[in-house]
Structure formats: C-alpha cells, structure tokens
Structure 1
Amino acid sequence: MTAPAEVVDELVELLRNVLPEADSATLSAHVVNLRLRRPAAGELLGYLKDFSDALTSGHSGGPAARLRLLDALAADYPSVQRARCVRCGRVQTLRHRLDDGRACVTCYSRQHVETCVRCGDLREVAWRQADGGAVCPKCKRRDTSFWQQCCVCGKSAPVVSRRDGQPFCQNCWSAPLHTCTDCGRDRPVCSYTERGPLCKGCYHRERAAECGECGRVTANRRRDRTSGALVCERCWNPPVLTCVDCGQQRPCPRGLRTGEPRCGSCCSRRRPRRTCARCGKVQHIHSRLPLGDVCSPCHTKIRRNTAPCAQCTAVRPLIGTDAADRAICGPCAGDAREWNCRRCDRFDALFSDGLCPRCVAHDRVHRLLSGPDGHLRPQLTPLLELLDAESDPYQILLWLYRSDWGSLLGRLATDHEEITHGLLDTFPSHRKHVQYLRQVLVTAGVLPTRDEHLDSIPAWLDTLLAAQPPHIITLIRPYASWSVLRRARGLSMRRASTPSVRKYARSRILIAVRFLNWLDEQHLTLTTVTQAHVDAWLDAGTHTHHRLRDFLRWAHSRRLAPELHIPWLGSGRSEPGDILDDQERWQLLRRCLTDEDIPLHQRVAGALVLLYGQRPQRIVTLTRSHISTRGERTYLTLDRHPVLLPPPLAAIVQRLVAAEPFGRRPIIRDLAPVSELLFPGARPGACMDYGRLTHQLNTLGIRVIPARNSALCALADDLPAPVVADLLGVHINTAVRWGKLVKRDWTAYLAARTDSG
C-alpha cells in the first residue's frame, strides 16, 4: 500500500523548510518517485523530524528511503549531501549496514576479516582452501598454483589481465590507449565519464578542489572524519591511536581500515627490502621503474640528473635501458606513466599534483611571499629574481622545508604590511638566520643599505637599557650616542667598518653599565666615587675593566665625575714573540704554490700571508678589480700602488680570478654576470668570513700570526719603511716599528732618494 497523500504533503513541507529555494511541485515529484509504502514513508517522516540535519550531514544512518531521497535531491540542490561511507567517508553505493551506519562493499569486506592460514595476518578473505581455511589476497597471489605462463615473456607469474583470452603478467601488460577527451593525447584510460575517456592526469585535474582548511587546490585530499570536509595531505591529521607494533599512542596514518593502526615509523620498518637495480644495495624500494626496483636515493638522483636519451637524444630522466644496456627515457622504454607537467608541458619527473619541480617551486615561493589574501607582496617582488627556482628547483624546495630564514620571511610577509630594518631589529641580532635574511633583503633592494656593524648598535642599546634604572639610562644614552657611536661613525667614513668596530663600541658601553651597577651596589654615585673605589673595581676584574677609562674621561669632561685615573692599556703592540722560522716559512709558501690538493682560495690566501704579511680581514675583501695585468706581468693592488706578483703566485691568482665561486652554491641568484669578490661568502653580496678563512689556514698548518710576523720582518729587512707602508697598506708607524725590530736604518733609502732627486 503506497503512502497516503497527507504523509507525502507533510514530507514535502519538511523538505521546503530545509530547501527554501525548491518549489513544492518538484519536491512532491521526488517524493512520489520514491514509491514509498506506508511503513517506509512513516519511518522516513519520523527520521526527518528527529534530525534537522538529515539532508546536509552526509551521515549514512537512518532508513534506506532517506539514502534514495538524498541521491535524488543532490543532483538539483548543492546543499544536500549524499550519504558517505561510515568507514572511508567516500560517497558510494552503501549496501551494507554496520552498527554505527552504512558502509561500502570495500569497507564492509575489510571489516569482516579472518586470520590467513598461511601468513597469520588478519586480512580479507580472497580464497578458501578445501578445509575451509581463509587465504588473504597477498598469499593467493604468491600461490604458484594460480600462476600461468605469460603469453609475451613466457614466464610463469600471476595473471594481471587477459586480452583475447591470453594471460599477461605485470611487466608485459600495458593498458590499451585511448584518446583523452580533455588533452587529446593517447593515454591509458583512468576513468570513463559522460564526455568520454579521461587519462590519469586529466582525471585528477578534474577532481582538484580547494582544501577545506588552507584553501590549497589539490587533487590529493582526504576526508576529515570529524567535520567530513575534504582537506589536503598537509591539513589532514591522522588519528592518534595505539600502534599495533610499538604499542605507543602516536598518529597512525595507516591501517585504519583493516583495524591494525600503525604509526609512520613502524610502517617504514615493515616495508620489504629488495636489491636496488641501480646501486645494487639491499634497501627499501621507493619506486618500480622500467630498469627495475630503485631505492629512494637512486630515485632522487634519476629525477635530478637528466641526460640525453640514447635513442631519442632528448634530455630527460633516464629510467630504463635498451637491449644494448644504454640508458633511455620513459617513452622510449615503453613506460606509459604521465611524465609531462600539466602546466608547462615540460617532460620531467613530476613532483606534486601533476606539476614538475620548477612549477611547484614557483608556486610555493609565491605563496611564501604572499600576504593573508594570497596576493604577492609588492615589496617582496624583487626577491623572485633572486630565488633561483629555474636552475635547481630541488634546492628551493629543500630550503622552503627546513630554512629558518625562509620561515621568518614567510611570517613577516603574512603578519606585517611592510618589512623594515626596525622590524628586523626586534629579533635577536646574534641569530644567523636573522642576519642572513637582512642581507638578502638588502641585496634584493627591498631594504636600503646600511652599515650593519654600526646601525645595529642602537637597537641593541635599547634592549640593554630597557632593564636599567632611569639614572643609569640618563648617563649611558648620551655617552653611547655622542661619544662612542660618534667616533665610530667618523672612523667608518675613512675606512670600511668591521665586526671589531661593533665589538669595540659594545664593550665600552657594557663596561660603563657594569661600573654604574657596581656603584649602586656600593651605595655610591658617579659624583662621590674616589680613586680608591676605581682601583678596587680594577683589581676585582680582568684587564677589560681598564676600558672604563674612556667613560670616566667623558664624564669628567662634562663635570659629571671627578678626575679619575685609569692606566691606558695601549694599542697592545708589543714585541712579537712568535715568529715563524724562515725555512719553515718558505716550505709552507712552496706548498701553497705547488700543492694541487689544497683548495685554490686557501693557496692564494696562504701565499699572501706568508709573502706579504696580509691579514685575513684584508684578504677576504679583495676583488677582481685589485688584479691587473700588463703584458705578461700580474699586479695586485693592496693599497695605493700595485705590487708585482712573482710568476708562480701570479699563476694561481689568475686561476682564482677565472674560477667559479667556491663553496656551496647558495639559492640566492647573483644578478651580476661574474662575482667581483675573490673570496665570496655564504651571504649574497658579502665576502667570506675572515674567521673561517683563518681557521682553514690554521688547519693547513699556516698559523696566521707567526706567518705574518715572519713576512713583515723579511719585508722590513729588505725595504724601507715608507715603501712597506705604501705597498702593503700598513700605517707608517707600524712600518717604522717593524724596521726598528730588524734594526734597519734609512741611510740607503735617503741616499737613493737624494740621487734620484
């Protein structure tokens, strides 16, 4: 007996309340087409009254008539959600009922598992023996009684498909090709739609949609079991369950359907080990290519190191071999997988969502430099020219994954409208990733150039004084601004600043702050302090306490303190006690000029220390403009006048000028065609750290201080002090001091000047 008219009208009225955009006639037609009997109609009506979200929740519970009604309404009304499988969350035909809802055929079979009599695992039943014992699908495939002889290769193997009744094994079977409706290429069919057949790439592009959490468009999505939304792999959080192997409570992305949850670590350990066809090692296999099973390191090398194919000569990843054991690409090896990027159509080992590594790197760099609205920050547009995603996209992807300064750049782009030096000063200046990010932004032109050694001191001073009492701040701020920094900036106008300048300024400010804090502990003030107090302060500390002399002189000149005396430490120039023996010096120099096992930049730096007594601080600042040639002669300009280099040294210097930049190639592209720096550093546009160069020379056995002392002694013995000062760029007083050390007078030099004049 069909449902009475009043029940149908009441159902239509309930549906109108949920779907106000629908008309009564259409809803009535949908209900009538269900052909409900009186009991089924009453059950459906009661369920709709009890659950207000029956049409939108997607839950698979309730009467069977509700599922048929959802299928009919979902085609016309997007707000209606079809019932999803209670286990996998997919919208499918749900033929089986479980305790908490309905399930698809696959999940129902996985729910009803038995212990395999062969492997002992709890799995689905694929076949039963004569005694009724259950056999899982994996053991059935391993059972040689089910194997047949392949019609192509003749090997006995499991049958994966048949064509015209002939069996094919896994290696010989190739899916038939059809013309894809979207891209028009002949590819194996992944899905048949109303428009026609679709290849795998077009099928996944059609399924691509925005993630319900981050909004990223991707075809690789998972169903969130709590909200039911489709989220990408990044936003999907595996449930925290007890791993069946290790017994710990950990996120378990595998084994949810079989009832045997396993964490990521245990899944990796369970992977079988096989012999890699490329390296020959027994390892976990990453992929199965035409050349054989390859491990993860070899798969990465194949993807990154493209080469000309032996058959078609196209530069591609070589994943197969021909009869002559030559490396060939995928199409020549008969591999039917998709290898063309869906965006740029470049043949490459696809990385994510059907895109090549270059397109993925470009997308992720744009996302990193974009604000909350997803649009690229105009201020950060110049960075796109510096990040070299075209030549080495894998290095860019690795940088995005693990770089501290890249993560900081992304946070600044998201949280702040504009990035300034002041904003970066709020982060700890001693952190290397903050320093590197500032250098990158300056190189790109995003931030203006500044003297980092001096301009970083005000922010450091604000942090230091924030924890001090007001009377100390009143004294320290003018002393730092108008005495220490003023003199340091004056010196920077005559010569380039170095890290020593920053260390000099900070040490004097810190000593003054510590002295004022000590006065507070002694219940003294700057006006009541006496010489005895100052002497006690000096005796209680190290020699660095003598740097208080500068602050006390400044305070006395402004009548803030009485005249107090602190001995001057002097310039630290005493008679050198560590001088390299001449024989050892020449042996080290000969090694730098001839030993090809030593890196070229270390050979040049060592020779300049041993021959001309140059400091590493000066060596790292040398550029190609300091090298000049006149005919067959090579000159090096260390100060105002060029120095003629000996032929062996000139040869290795010219090689260094023509060589590629040494060290690890950074991801920041150098916009200049050739770097001017002979000793480039890790930071873009900056020279090598002189401390690192000093460590490298010490490792070679060239101790910088003894080697430099020995070289200056030899030069002072051979040349007059003014010549040494002009050629090497040292102060005249320094040259005179070295001349006195070797007991040389100026008689011959003055006589030569008189004769020439």
Structure 2
Amino acid sequence: MKGSADFRPDAWARVTARLVADIDGLSVEAAERLLTDARVNRPKTLNAVDCYLAITPGGVCDPDSACPRGMMRLSHILLAAGYTTVHPPQCTQCGQRSALTNVGPSGRICEHCLRANRPTVLCARCGKPALHRRNSADGVVCSNCYSRDPSSKAPCHRCGRVGHRRRRLPCGGVLCPACAPRPQHTCVECGKDRPAQSITENGPICSTCYSRINMSWSCAACGALRRRKSGGNVGPHICGICRRALRNDVQKASTRTALPASRPPRVAPICVFCRRQRPIMNRWPAGPVCKVCAKRARSYPGICGTCQQSAVLIGLNDHGGRICGPCAGASLDYRCRNCGQAGMHANGRCSRCVTAQLLDAALGGHDGQIPDQLRPLADALAAAPDPRSVAVWLARSDAARLLRTLAECGETVTHDLLDALPPGRQVNYIREILVRTSVLPMRNERLERLEPWLDRYLADQPADHTLMVRNYAVWYLLHRARRSPRPLVTAGAARIRRRVRVALEFLTWCDARGRSLTDIDQGDVDTWLATGDWRRPEVRPFLHWTTQRRITGAVSAPAPKPAPPSVFIDEATHLEQLHRCLHDDGIDVDLRAAGALILLYGIATWRVLNLRRNQVHTRDGETFLVLRDHELLLPPQLADLMAQLPRSTRRSTLPDSDASDRLLFPGRTPDRPVDTGGFGKRLKRSGLTIRAGKNTALLGLAAELPAAVLADLLAIDVGTATRWATYAKTEWNDYIAARTSGDNG
C-alpha cells in the first residue's frame, strides 16, 4: 500500500501525471482518488502500470487486452466516472468490453467466453454437462449427483446426523457444516476474533458490527437508529413501530397514503429504570422499560422491598424501591418453569437451568452422560455465583473447547495427559480448575512444568550439550527446588530457566573457542564474564556443579553482590500515600490493604500477594498478622481493610472457596495469587510508588530496630536485615548496650 517500504513515490507521480495529461478535465486529487479505487496504490500493481504506460502511448484511453489487471480496473472505473474517452480492453474472442479476468487461447477473454471454451464432460450418472466435476467410482459426475451420493456423506461426530463432511477431526471423525467451527477472523471494527459476516475492502467484519453498520437505518418518522425494515408498502426506511402505527392509520382511513410531511417526529419514551431514551421492550407496573433493563431484571432477580422474597423486580413502591409483580398488583411473576426459582433467561427457564443443560451437552461423553471423574467439576460449575458467566465461558473460551474434547475422548484425565498436550493458557486453566475441584491431585505446577520445558528446549541441541545440561538441570537445579521447604514461585522458575540457558550458551562458547570443559581455566571463565551481558554470572552454579563432579578444574564465578537500594521517597510523600491507603475509598480495597502493608512495614510485594486468610488472627479486639513464627500487630484501620479481603470479583467461573487458608489476593483462579506485574501496574495507576515506598519503610524500621529484631518481626533473612541496618548506620553494639542498660535499670 501507499506508505509501505516497497512503495515508489516516483512511479506514483509518473502514473498520476500521465493520467492527468491524457484525460481532459481530470485534477490531480481526482486522479489519485481513482488510482486508489482501482488499487493501483499497491507497490506491485503500481510498478506494472508504470512500466505499461511507459511503453504504450495510448495506454490510458485505449489499453489493449495484454495490459496489467490494475490498468484494466482503472479503465472501467474511469468509464463509470463519466470519462467517455476511455475504452476498456476488448475480449479477444467476442469483442465485449467487460472485465477480462481469464486467459484463453487467443489472450484475455471474458467470463462468458471462458465457459464457452471449457471442455464439455458429461456426467456419468445423469448425462448432463458437468461444469463443477467430482470424481467417483462411476467416473466424472456433476456436483448435483455427487451431493446425492450416500458415499459423500458421513455421520457427524458431534450431533450424529448424516450429512456432508465439513471438517475432519484428529480422531478420524468428521463434523457436519452446522457443527464445524467457522473460520475466525479479526474484526476490523471491534478487534475481536470472531467468524466474519462480510469481507469488506477494509477487512473482515463480524456479525455484530455488520448489523450495527449495514443493517441499521435512521427512521424517517421518529429519527431513531434501528434495524432496517424493507419491502413494506409504506417505504423502506420506516422502523417497525412507526410502520405498525402508520398501517393502523391507513387501515382506519381505508386509503394508503405516504407519511405526511407535517407530522412531528416521534420521541422515544424514557426508561423508568435507566432514565434513558431507548426503544421500549416491556411496560411493567413501574413504567416503560428498555430492552437492556428488562433483560437485566429478568436475569438477575433481587429482594423485593415489600415481601422480602427473591423475585424479578418489575414495580416500584411509594418510596421508589423495587418490588416484585404480585406486590405491585400485577400477575407477572417471572419464574423458571423448570425449578420454580425467580428469574428467566431463555425459553422460560432461569440462567442456572440453562447453564446446567449446556454443561450436560459440553461434558457428556459418547453416551451423553457426564463421566464420574468430571462430575465434581460439573457440580462446581453448576453452583457458580453467576451461572451466565459459565454459559459464556462454555460458548467462547478455548479452555472450554479443550475440556469438551477431553470429555468426548473418553480417557481418564491425568496430569500426564495434560502434559502431553501442546502447552498453552487453556491447558493451564483446565488443570487449575480440575485441581481445585479435586479431580486431579495438587502439585507444584511451576516446578512440574520445568521438565517438559527442558525437553522442548533441548530437543534441537547437540547431543553432548543436551546430556550435560539435562543432568545439571535435573540433578542439581530441580533437585534443590524439590527439597526446598518453600514452594517454587514464578521468579524462581524463571531463574532456573535462565541458568539452563546460560549453561548451554557457555558450552557453545567453549566449543567456538576450541575448548572443552576439561580444558578450561579461570582465564576462560573471566573472559566469558567480561565479554557478556548481565546474565553471564548465572554460570556460577553450573561451574560449581561441574567442579564438584571433577568435570572441570578449580574454576568459579564470583557471587553477585546485591546492589544497595537507590530509590526512596521523602517522608511527607510516604505519609501522604500511607494516609491514602488507609482512608481513600476511591481506591480498590485490595490495593489499599497491600499498599498499606508495603508502605508501613516494607514487606515485598510478592510476599504480600501470597498472604492467606489463616495468617490474620484477632485476639482481645486486636488483629495480628503472622509472618513465619511471629505476630505483627496491625493498626485498626489496616485491620478493617484486611477483614474485607479477599474482595468479591467475577474472575473465576467457579464458586468462591471458604477454606481457612484461602489467598487474600487471589488471581485468575483462587488457588493462585494475582500476578505481581499486573498488580504493580494497578498500584502505580493509583499513584502509589511501591518500590520507593518499601525502601523508605524498611530504612525507617532498620534505623529504629536492631537487625535481629527486624528479621524476626518481618520474617526476613538475618543477612538482609543486617544490610538494611548498615544502610541505616546502626550497629549491633547499640542493641547490646541498650539491653545491658535496661537490665541494669
């Protein structure tokens, strides 16, 4: 396109100038617009048109049949625009000036001549000419005979109906056109991946955007933007409501007249719930209600202000409160015809009953019954707080499609079966919800994913390097991670992957220098460290492992020294941000609680996000936070924030857990904490400088408390507390002297 790297501005200028010179009355702007309409602005087409016009004097007004396709399109566009001096190329057989998109024996020909020149083959069954031919056991048959052949049909793997094949499955089955998923395209209007309703010049458009753009029309009577109605006897641009009103007026007058020009435009009524001018769907005892509010009221029942029962609230009392239909004096009482509960979603049933039917269809095996292994998951999904979210998840999520495939295959779902699938977010999510519903046993997922990743990473590496790095990763890195009393976190898994990559890079570097592990010395290691980036010191554990096994000599890499903190905030800013966390109701409660813990005690963000409910205790009216073996007294305002955690969200399709060890900051699934990076961005958008605030809080505590007390209070390493005490210019001797003077006193 124009503006790409291959676009030639000089060719564009020559073609534009040639077009303006050969056609009278054509301006430069109009010429560029016509060239763009003919898609001559594409680099390849532009170069072809430029070369053609350079060697053909009359190429603009009288192109021949051998001209480029872009020139042919341009000639037809010019003729349609009223420039009669342009004569599009003629068909080399019939002489018609139509679109020549095919090549025949004498040159380019039109579509009619192409069909006339096509060799005629008679169908082996019906004897008619077979234009669209298919091969069969009887010979060449036409498409009609092939569609009636039973051998061209097969039972659908999903619905069981016998029909034409649309898509083959890896298991050998086929899907019919109704069950086969339509190709996904990225809509150019909304940006979502959906089946395309139409492929326009700008790109594919989904059905929702197509209806909004192409199927909407401004009503000539009321002026509202509604779905287009056509084919009526009162005009094609009148909405359905105005059409019915006009039809009634016409029937009463026994004559058919057009819409009076003096009739005032019709004003849409105001919805009694949202107070907006929208098309009215229902007229309830409360008043006119739009489609959005009516659907929300039927799908989400509430507590009636009069009878205090769960019902669909369609009326208003004297104080403006929502009440149900019977209390408002109406017979409307929207209840599910299946379970009798309040609320209706589709076909007279509530959202929970509709979701239960969808679950039976999605998780049912070959016999239509949900396997016993997946029954706990089905029960948990059926008991979700918002069953509509489960229905949407079943219809749109890739994870739900994977779960449906696992249920249809009939195999027992295990961790090994999921490990054999291609890695992805959908596999991880299915594993998490199966573990949470006790279908699969719990395991350290970050640790268990490392070995499959190691197999994929070393698949195309040299054999000697693969053997060395695999032994190092399995028997040193993973062995130490499994023996650690703490579960492996995301940062720890990333560190193991980085050390595996650095070890493989070091072996490749040694081979490039003609050295082996048994020959390298400390000078080689120093050269490796001096000529690389910040990751190269991670070779230290690999050299330690090879030295212990006498693969290498006495070589080592220095241990990385922690850099002193360099980011702080002043005391006034620190207190202002802490005050906002404790008192600003405009910030989410989870951000306020986490920010207060970080700014008050200097606790790392990842440790705050891994806190659980059983670490918060209340005793004698005071709230304590347990960090390892010590209790940390919380201020009353912070204690109130901690009592509101975890906050209610709809991040998961499963119901919330009431376990005592539930995370206070759950992520996408309640069994895993929220992502540290995303949570840090939310804190930053709220105006909280967490890293600088944490350093300021730790520095203040280190200046007031000895290192030993600080380490026990915040459950951090003594070495870390000692470094912070050094930064704060405190000494152990001050602590000993303070204790000695206290004992003497």
Query: Which band: TM-score by shorter chain?
Result: 0.5 to 0.7
Distance 1:250 1:679 in 2: 40
Residue 649 of structure 2 is aligned to residue 663 of structure 1? yes
Read off the aligned partner of 2:597 and give its amino acid letter: L
Change (3 A) 1:723 1:311: closer
Read off the aligned partner of 1:397 and give its amino acid letter: A
Which one has the largest radius of gyration?
Answer: 1
Q: TM-score, normalised by structure 1?
A: 0.59
Match of 1:575 in 2: 564
Match of 1:196 in 2: none
In structure 1, the residue corresponding to 2:365 is in which secondary structure?
A: coil
Change (3 A) 1:363 1:520: farther
Alpha carbons 1:387, 1:669 under 8 Å: kept: yes
Match of 2:228 in 1: 270
Correspondence list, 1:141-152, <5 A: none
Correspondence list, 1:666-685, <5 A: 666-672=652-658, 676-685=662-671
How far 1:376 sits from its partner (Å)?
A: 0.9
Alpha carbons 2:446, 2:490 under 8 Å: kept: yes
Residue 404 of structure 2 is aligned to residue 434 of structure 1? no
Percent identity between matched residues is 34
Change (3 A) 1:658 1:675: farther
Change (3 A) 1:717 1:423: same
Match of 2:106 in 1: none
Correspondence list, 1:478-517, <5 A: 478-490=471-483, 492-493=484-485, 495-517=486-508
Change (3 A) 1:608 1:336: closer
Pick one of 688, 692, 701 that aligns with 2:687.
Answer: 701
Structure 2, unmatched stretches of 5+, are 1-124, 127-154, 167-174, 183-196, 217-226, 230-238, 242-267
Match of 2:599 in 1: 610
In structure 1, the residue corresponding to 2:535 is in which secondary structure?
A: helix
Alpha carbons 2:398, 2:426 under 8 Å: kept: yes
Distance 2:550 2:640 in 1: 59
Match of 1:561 in 2: 552
In structure 2, the residue corresponding to 1:387 is in which secondary structure?
A: helix
Match of 2:76 in 1: none
Distance 1:415 1:564 in 2: 54
Match of 2:312 in 1: 317
In structure 1, the residue corresponding to 2:505 is in which secondary structure?
A: helix
Residue 373 of structure 2 is aligned to residue 411 of structure 1? no
Pick one of 666, 671, 677 that aligns with 1:691.
Answer: 677
Read off the aligned partner of 2:442 and give its amino acid letter: T
RMSD: 4.5
Change (3 A) 1:389 1:629: closer
Alpha carbons 1:250, 1:263 under 8 Å: kept: no
Read off the aligned partner of 2:703 and give its amino acid letter: D
In structure 1, the residue corresponding to 2:632 is in which secondary structure?
A: strand
Change (3 A) 1:393 1:473: same
How far 1:632 sits from its partner (Å)?
A: 3.4
Read off the aligned partner of 1:301 and give its amino acid letter: R
Alpha carbons 2:383, 2:655 under 8 Å: kept: no
Match of 1:448 in 2: 441
Q: TM-score, normalised by structure 2?
A: 0.60
CA deviation profile, 1:144-197 (whole Å, cap 9, x unmatched): xxxxxxxxxxxxxxxxxxxxxxxxxxxxxxxxxxxxxxxxxxxxxxxxxxxxxx
Read off the aligned partner of 2:577 and give its amino acid letter: L
In structure 2, the residue corresponding to 1:577 is in which secondary structure?
A: coil
How far 1:675 sits from its partner (Å)?
A: 6.9
Match of 2:575 in 1: 586
Change (3 A) 1:224 1:327: farther
How far 1:720 sits from its partner (Å)?
A: 1.4
Change (3 A) 1:346 1:662: closer
In structure 2, the residue corresponding to 1:381 is in which secondary structure?
A: helix
Match of 2:233 in 1: none
Match of 2:105 in 1: none
Match of 2:41 in 1: none
Match of 1:299 in 2: 294
In structure 2, the residue corresponding to 1:382 is in which secondary structure?
A: helix
How far 1:679 sits from its partner (Å)?
A: 2.1
Change (3 A) 1:756 1:416: farther
Read off the aligned partner of 1:679 and give its amino acid letter: F
Read off the aligned partner of 1:382 and give its amino acid letter: P
Change (3 A) 1:313 1:266: farther
Change (3 A) 1:514 1:482: same
Change (3 A) 1:416 1:473: farther
Match of 1:636 in 2: 625
Distance 1:315 1:743 in 2: 64
Match of 1:721 in 2: 707
Read off the aligned partner of 1:496 and give its amino acid letter: P
Read off the aligned partner of 2:603 and give its amino acid letter: Q
Change (3 A) 1:631 1:553: closer
Change (3 A) 1:738 1:461: same
Alpha carbons 2:300, 2:343 under 8 Å: kept: no
Distance 1:693 1:597 in 2: 17
Change (3 A) 1:744 1:560: closer
CA deviation profile, 1:578-635 (whole Å, cap 9, x unmatched): 2222232222222222222222222222222122111111112223332233323332
In structure 2, the residue corresponding to 1:635 is in which secondary structure?
A: strand
CA deviation profile, 1:508-560 (whole Å, cap 9, x unmatched): 11111223334445555434556565455444431202212322332233333
How far 1:452 sits from its partner (Å)?
A: 1.6
CA deviation profile, 1:671-728 (whole Å, cap 9, x unmatched): 4267743223221223333333322333333322221221122112111111111111
Structure 1, unmatched stretches of 5+, are 1-49, 52-211, 254-261
In structure 2, the residue corresponding to 1:730 is in which secondary structure?
A: coil
Distance 1:338 1:226 in 2: 46
CA deviation profile, 1:31-81 (whole Å, cap 9, x unmatched): xxxxxxxxxxxxxxxxxxx99xxxxxxxxxxxxxxxxxxxxxxxxxxxxxx
In structure 2, the residue corresponding to 1:542 is in which secondary structure?
A: coil
Distance 1:625 1:249 in 2: 54
Pick one of 442, 460, 468 that aligns with 2:461.
Answer: 468
Alpha carbons 1:387, 1:667 under 8 Å: kept: yes
CA deviation profile, 1:111-133 (whole Å, cap 9, x unmatched): xxxxxxxxxxxxxxxxxxxxxxx
How far 1:299 sits from its partner (Å)?
A: 3.4
How far 1:318 sits from its partner (Å)?
A: 4.5
In structure 1, the residue corresponding to 2:708 is in which secondary structure?
A: helix
Alpha carbons 2:270, 2:277 under 8 Å: kept: no
Read off the aligned partner of 1:516 and give its amino acid letter: L
Change (3 A) 1:530 1:642: closer
Match of 1:545 in 2: 536
